[in-house]
Amino acid sequence: MFDRIAPVYDLMNRVMTAGLDQRWRRITAQAVVRPGERVLDACCGTGDLALAAAAAGGAVTGLDFSAQMLERARAKSTAVTWLEGDVLALPFADGAFQAATVGFGIRNVDDLGAGLRELRRILAGDGRLAILEITQPTGALAPFYRLWFDRIVPLLGRVLPGGAAYTYLPASVRRFPGKEALADQLRAAGFADVAYRTFAGGIVALHTGRAA
C-alpha cells in the first residue's frame, strides 16, 4: 500500500494540511535534535522530517520499509543515510542514537508498544524522541475533522493516481490511541518527561519524551 501511495504522498500531505505539515516537521526536529548528534527518523516515508532533522544539525539516518518511499527520499538529498528496514526490528545497536523522530508513521506500526520499545532501545541514555501524528480532536473542530478525514481526504485520494489507498486513513486514525493514551504508552515503553502539544486546533499532536 505504501509503495502505491508514494507517488502522491507529498502532494497529499500538502493538501491535507494546507501546507502546514512542513512547519510542523521543522518544529518536531527542533524539539529533539541537537547539532552533531546521531538522529534516526523512523518510518521516514519520502524523507521530509529527516531533512528537517538534518537542517537542525543532526547526522541523520532515515529508515522506512517502503522501497518506493525511499526512492523518492533519496532523490531529495544525499545528506541523509537512507535505509530500508522495519521499526519493529531496527538494525542498530542499543544506544546508537541521541535522538529519534517519527512523522505521521507510528500509527501504521502493527505493534505500537513494540515499536516504541525499539525506539527506546536504540536511544542512548537521556536520548530524545519526538512523534508527530494525526490525532482525534474534541470540541468544536470534531465535526469538521470527521468531514475532512472521513469524506474529503478519501475522495481526493481517489482522483489522484495511486491515491486510492488513502481510503485507509480514517480507519487508521480511529484505531490509534488518543493523546493521553499515547503519552501513557510512551511512559510504559521507558520514556520519561513525556509531554505533548497540539496543532491545527488539536488535529495533530507532537509528543516528546526522554529515554529514562
Domain spans, the chain: 2-134+177-211
Of residues 169 and 93, the one with the higher pLDDT is: 93
Among 32, 78, 71, 69, which Cα is nearest to 51's? 78
- Indicate the average pLDDT of the chain: 90
- Give residue 121's pLDDT: 98
**Domain 2-134+177-211 bears CATH identifier 3.40.50.150:** yes
Each residue of 28-63: b (16+ CB within 10 Å) or e? bbebbbeeebbbbbbbbbbbbbbbbbbbbebbbbbb
Residues 23-45 have a mean pLDDT of 98
Q: Are 186 and 194 in contact (CB under 8 A)?
A: yes
Does pTM surpass 0.75?
A: yes
pLDDT tens-digit map of 191-208: 999 999 999 888 899 999
Angle between helix 48-55 and 67-76 (nearest 10): 40
Is the pLDDT at 180 greater than 90? The verdict is yes
Is the pLDDT at 132 greater than 90? The verdict is yes
Secondary structure element (H or E) that encloses residue 21, with its range: helix 21-32
Is the pLDDT at 165 greater than 80? The verdict is no
pLDDT band at 14 (very low <50, low <70, confident <90, very high): confident
- Give residue 139's pLDDT: 65
Instruction: Mean pLDDT check: name the lowest of 70-79, 124-133, 168-177.
Output: 168-177
- Give residue 104's pLDDT: 94
pLDDT tens-digit map of 79-127: 999 999 999 999 999 999 999 999 999 999 999 999 999 999 999 999 9
